[in-house]
Amino acid sequence: MQAALITPTQAGLVYAADLLMLLLRYGLFAGVAYWVFWRWKKARWQHRRIQPRFPEAKHIRTEIRYSILTCLIFAAVGVCIFAARQAGYTRIYTSIGQYGWPYVGGSTLLAILAHDTYFYWTHRFMHLPGVYHHVHRVHHLSTNPSPWAAFAFHPLEAIVEAGIFPLLVFVLPLHPVAIVAFLTYMMAMNVLGHLGYEPYPARFLRTRFGRLHNTSTHHNMHHQLVKGNYGLYFNWWDRLMGTNHTKYQERFEQVANRQRETQKV
């Protein structure tokens, strides 16, 4: 059976649709977070600023420019996946009944866990001296990131970041519902990591869930200090590899307790 090929017109339409969805998702998550925390409720949340000072406007414009470039690259990857699916090479399926709803939930969780592992080790790779200075340094131009830094990557890093998605759809049967849930969680946690504020309660890291899940402070410290805190969603790889910053919990609780200390005065 001959593999179905997509025409240039189909590729163009798919690219335009993918790009539009990426820009909308990026704009919605990063834009709402920026508007609420950095504009509308700025004074109310100031005590939860991880780094009290705000970055200059030129740095935020740089984040947005690189993020748009990343969306252009991600959309191209989307076209490749569409073409591969048309040719029957992916494991994307459309009938819920084929595996059932429990599998949809389980495959979503498995995709998130796989991405967390993929990100940790590719992130460690990005910090190798030669790779860092030529590629990953672009993301670290944001030493004090805003939500707009969520997709602010060098083009080569954007390709590496996008690599998890082809891996998933070629190996793991995924329904579009699971794909959308995975992409939504990815975007939400990415924006949280670059929020610049710590929304979690002060005792979060002392809970069973909090010890496993990362916080906004965790990734903000990575941007500020460059070394350590390499994880994305969860903290177990940093714990296992000893790459949590030694003052991570102290810094988190210092930021998260500021309101409580103010109320005591």
pTM beyond cutoff 0.85? yes
Q: What phi and psi, each to the nearest 5 degrees, are found at residue 148?
A: -70, -10
Q: What is the pLDDT of residues 203-218, one digit of tens each?
A: 999 999 999 999 999 9
Look up residue 139 and give its two tokens: 């993301």
Weakly modelled stretches of the chain, pLDDT under 70: 1-4, 259-265
Q: How far apart are the first and last CA of the chain?
A: 76
Ranges of each domain in the chain:
8-199
Per-residue model confidence (pLDDT) at position 4: 67
Per-residue model confidence (pLDDT) at position 264: 44
What is the spatial distance between Cα 264 and Cα 33, in angstroms, rounded to a whole number? 29
DSSP states of the chain as a string?
-PPP---HHHHHHHHHHHHHHHHHHHHHHHHHHIIIIIIITTTTTGGGBSSSSPPPHHHHHHHHHHHHHHHHHHHHHHHHHHHHHHTT-S-B---GGGT-HHHHHHHHHHHHHHHHHHHHHHHHHHTSHHHHHHTGGGGGG-SS--GGGGG---HHHHHHHHTHHHHHHHHS-B-HHHHHHHHHHHHHHHHHHTSSB--S-TTGGGSHHHHHB--HHHHHHHHHHSSS---SSBSHHHHHHT-S-TTHHHHHHHHHTHHHHHHH-
What is the spatial distance between Cα 150 and Cα 91, in angstroms, rounded to a whole number? 28
Look up residue 84 and give its two tokens: 């591969």
Per-residue model confidence (pLDDT) at position 5: 81
Per-residue model confidence (pLDDT) at position 3: 58
